Amino acid sequence: MYDEFYGLTGRPFQLTPDPRFYFESGTHRKALSYLGYGLAQGEGFIVITGEVGAGKSTLAAHLMATVDRQRLTAAQIVTSALDGEELIHVSARAFGLEVAGHDKATALAQIEAFLHHEAREGRRCLLVVDESQNLSVEALEELRMLSNFQLGAHPLLQILLLGQPEFRTLLQTSAELEQLRQRVIASHHLDAMEPSEVGPYIEHRLACVGWQGNPAFDARVYADLAKATDGVPRRINQIVNRLLLMAAIEQRQNIDAGLLQAVMTDLAGDGGLNAKSAVTPVPASQAPVVEMASVQQFAAQPVAAPAAFDESAWRAALAERDEQIAELQQAIIELADMRPAVVAEPVADPAILAQLEEANRRIAALEARDGDEEVIAALVDANRRIVALETRTAEQEQAIRHTLTMLIEWIETEDYQRAAA
C-alpha cells in the first residue's frame, strides 16, 4: 500500500536479501576488500560472520550479482542441519548437476568432473555457503575435502562461508576443525552500521525505488532508529517498513519521532520487535501527579460552584468506540474473499473531545476558588478521572492503529499470494 501512496516503484524494506538495495557501509566495504583479496588468491576458505540481520546474505547476493561470469562460476547454498553426505548432494545441485540416487561417491565424481571442465574453460569456481552455523563438524569436513580438488597444482574450488558469531567461535576453538582453520585465507566480522550511516542507508534504499523526498524524515527519526536498532540493517528494515505503512494509513507527508515511537510500541506488542526503545521512559518518581498543595496554590477570588463533571456521557462515548473497534477487528476475520476499497484514517472522537474541553473549563473555574476544601477535593477527583479517561482514549487510538495495520498487511499478503499464483 505505502509504495502506491508515496509513488514508489517497489518496497525498499522487505526482509528478503535483494542486491539492488546493497548499501556499502564502512563494515561492508571492509568485507568486500577481504573478499576481493581472498578471491584473488584463488584457493582456500573465506569466512564472513555477523549478527543476525547484519547483512551477510545481502552481501552474498551483491557478490553473486556482480561476479564476472566469464571468469568465475559461483553457486550458493543456504544450509540447514545437513550431514556430510547431504551437503555434497546439495552442493552438486547448486552447480546445476543432476546426481542420480544418493550415492556420495557418484556425487563427488560429478562435482570433480564439473570443476575440471570449468578450469579447462578458463573459469574458477566459488561455492557460497550461507548460514554455516547450522553445519555439523562432519559437514564442514566434507567441504574441506571438496576444496582438495586440483588440476595439477591449481585448486579448482574456493568456498565462502557466511555465518553467525557462534560459527566463528566454533571455527576458532574446535580441535576437529584445525585443518579447515589452516585453510582460511581471509575472514571478517560484519559489525553494525555507525549511527551516522543509518540515515544514508534509509535514503539509499528509498532512492532505489524512486523516492524524491516524500515522505520526509525528521533528523531525530534517524538518531532514534540508530539507538533502537543498534545499527543492524534487518531491524532497521523491519521498523521502517511498518513506519511507512503507518504513515501512509495516516496520509502523512512527514515522519517524526512520535510516529516512530508509536510504531515501535505496536511492534513490541506484536512480539515482533527485537530492539530497544528509542525514547527514554520517564521514571515513575518523575511522573506528574496531582497534589492537594499544588491545587491550593492556584487559589483566587471565589466563584460560584460549577455543575458536577458529567462523566457518564464520556464513558458512553468510550463504550461506543470499543464496539466500533470490535466490529473492525471482526471485519478482518470475515474478509476471506473481500477487499476494502478505502481504509479510513483514525480520527479523534468529537464527543470525547467536547467532554475534555468542558472538563478543562470546569477545572479552570474550580482552580479560581479560594480555600474551599470541598471544591479542591472535587478538582483532585476530576483530574484523576480525566487522567484515567485520557489513558483509555490513548489505548483505543493504539488499538485502532494496530487493527488498521493488520488489515493493510492482510490485504497486501493476499495481493502477493494472488500475484504469485
Domain total in the chain? 3
User: How far is residue 306 CA from its own chain's centroid?
Assistant: 52
- Confidence at 340, pLDDT banded by 50, 70, 90: very low
Using CA atoms, how far residue 230 sits from 52, 97, 223, 262, 279, in Å, is 12, 42, 10, 19, 14
CATH code for the domain in which residue 42 is found: 3.40.50.300
Query: If you average pLDDT over residues 105-129, what whole number do you get?
Result: 93
For residue 396, pLDDT over 70 is answered with no
C-alpha grid cell for residue 100?
A: 542420480
Residue 178 lies in a domain: yes
Q: Are residues 120 and 241 in the same domain?
A: no
**Is there a contact between 72 and 123 (Cβ–Cβ < 8 Å)?**
yes
Whether residue 372 has pLDDT greater than 80: no
Question: Is-contact 167 161, C-beta < 8 A?
Answer: yes
Distance (Å, whole) CA 23 – CA 198? 10
Average pLDDT estimate for 28-44: 91
In order, the DSSP letters of 231-283 are T-HHHHHHHHHHHHHHHHHTT-SEE-HHHHHHHHHHHHHHT---S--SSPPPP
* CA pair distance 279, 73, nearest whole angstrom: 48
Higher pLDDT, 269 or 193: 193
pLDDT band per the 50, 70, 90 thresholds, residue 288: very low
Residue 404 structural domain: 284-420
Higher pLDDT, 104 or 369: 104
pLDDT band at 81 (very low <50, low <70, confident <90, very high): confident
Q: What is the pTM of this model?
A: 0.65
Q: In this structure, are 253 and 307 located in the same domain? A: no
Q: How far is CA 9 from CA 22, 205, 208, 351, 413, in A?
A: 17, 12, 9, 41, 18
Q: What is the pLDDT of residue 314?
A: 57
Residue 267's pLDDT band, with cuts at 50, 70 and 90, is confident
Residue 153: pLDDT over 70: yes
Residue 18 inside a domain? The answer is no
Q: Enumerate the β-bridge partners of residue 159.
A: 45, 127
CB atoms within 10 A of CB 72: 16
In this structure, the answer to whether residues 223 and 328 fall within a common structural domain is no
Cα–Cα distance measured from residue 131 to residue 400, given in angstroms and rounded to the nearest whole number: 39
Query: What sign has the CA pseudo-torsion 87, 39, 124, 66?
Result: positive
